[in-house]
């Protein structure tokens, strides 16, 4: 399974594989937070339609 994510600070879109993910949890607004093996924090994307170019 591949995880489509957006970086919390830079808004860079990335695809992470399971080895790149340390943990997942939710924030107070119900968004899924992905803690990457690269020590970065990402939001899990549910659909590419959520990203506005």
**Predicted confidence (pLDDT) per residue in 7-26, tens digit:** 999 999 999 999 999 999 99
**Residue 47's closest CA among 25, 35, 32, 26?**
32
pTM: predicted TM-score of the whole model, two decimal places: 0.80
Q: What is the mean pLDDT of the chain?
A: 89
How far apart are the C-alpha atoms of 34 and 40, rounded to whole Å? Answer: 8
- Helices and strands in the chain: count of H runs, count of E runs: 0, 5
Can you give the length of the chain in residues?
Answer: 53
- What local confidence, expressed as pLDDT, does residue 22 receive? 97
């Amino acid at each position: 399974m591949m995880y489509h994510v957006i970086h919390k600070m830079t808004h860079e879109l990335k695809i992470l594989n399971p080895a790149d993910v340390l943990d997942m949890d939710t924030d107070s607004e119900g968004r899924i937070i992905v803690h990457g093996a690269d020590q970065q924090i990402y939001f899990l994307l549910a659909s590419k339609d959520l990203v506005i170019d």
